[in-house]
Amino acid sequence: MSDVIDAPLEVRLERQFLDDFLGSSPDHDIWRHHYNHGRYDEFRGRTLQANKEQQIYVDPGFSGTGDTPLGLNPFDIRDGVLGITGRRARSDAMPYLDGFAYTSGLLSSQNTFEQTYGYFEARIKVPVGQGLWSAFWLKTHHAHTPKGLPAWPPEIDVMEFIGTRTDRYYTTAHWDVMPDNKKSGSAVLNVNPGADFNAYGVLWTPDQTVFYFNRQPVKTIETKPNHNVPMFMVLNLALGGKWPGNVSDSALPARLEVDWVAAYEISPNQKVRQ
């Protein structure tokens, strides 16, 4: 991949981040495997309860309610492609998973890479099936929000894919603060995300937020209020929830594949061409 992008994007961009997964496992100096708003072993940092997700995000060192690591590993790397696998939990691990029957994986660059504005992109192949919820998104750290306000939103969902809606994926921007948070979302139609790898990107500037599919713009919105703070990247495969419905065991194991993740900053004095 080039360090600089000129086209087909409308600004000159310089790469600040790249992980193309050439090691044997995700780089622990880059990625966290949980939402970093509690201790490492807290369940609330390993699922989104408000979404009614059915999985717990795990990694080999996670011990659940036990005293020793459970050795649950949803990650693998094959020929430079990261896999995140969602599956029914191992029977011997179930007593330590606080009632969760499914495990999956999450990558977060919180505290290791955060950036305000720029182009963020990942080349991904999503799994298809009932209850599968794949996502690539940006979120801010609580340290960057005004004192006394929650750390969500802002959020930019570059790609969300519901495993039974095979002809589309979704882009969304969330802003304002709870309980009056607002969102602007849309479906990108007439695509087939589950058929192959595709590059999902967002060009985020002070004025515009432009979503890209394979480097082609598919949606443009005005950049939302409070979307002016650093955000980190998240990749995850959720199982079940109030949006996709209950996960089906027939869809498992399900493997989200990631070829690479990159982030670019806008070169000085470069502006989106109108």
Q: What is the CATH number of the domain that holds 233?
A: 2.60.120.200
Which residue from 240, 238, 209, 242 is spatially nearest to 223, judged by alpha carbons? 209
Q: What is the mean pLDDT of residues 209-213?
A: 95
Residue 1 has pLDDT above 60, yes or no: no
Which residue from 114, 141, 110 is spatially nearest to 204, judged by alpha carbons? 114
Residue 6, in any domain of the structure: no
Residue 47, in any domain of the structure: yes
Residue 5, in any domain of the structure: no
Residue 14, in any domain of the structure: no
Residue 1, in any domain of the structure: no
- List strand residue ranges (DSSP E) for 45-140, in order: 55-57, 75-78, 81-88, 102-104, 106-108, 118-125, 132-140
Give the torsion sign (CA, 102, 107, 112, 115): negative
Q: What is the mean pLDDT of residues 34-43?
A: 81
Residue 12, in any domain of the structure: no
Q: How confident is the model at residue 272 (pLDDT cuts 50, 70, 90)?
A: very low
Residue 53, in any domain of the structure: yes
Predicted confidence at residue 184, as pLDDT, reads: 80
Active site amino acids: 155, 160
The pLDDT tens digits for 68-104 are 999 999 999 999 999 999 999 999 999 999 999 999 9
Residue 147 has pLDDT above 60, yes or no: no
Q: How confident is the model at residue 36 (pLDDT cuts 50, 70, 90)?
A: confident
Q: What is the mean pLDDT of residues 173-198?
A: 84
Q: How many domains does the chain have?
A: 1
Predicted confidence at residue 7, as pLDDT, reads: 42
Pick the more confident residue, 156 or 12.
Answer: 156
Which residue range is the domain that position 64 belongs to? Answer: 20-266
Amino acid at 108: S
The answer to which of 156-165, 184-193, 241-250 has the lowest mean pLDDT is 184-193
Residue 148 has pLDDT above 60, yes or no: no
The pLDDT tens digits for 6-19 are 444 667 899 999 99
Residue 107, in any domain of the structure: yes
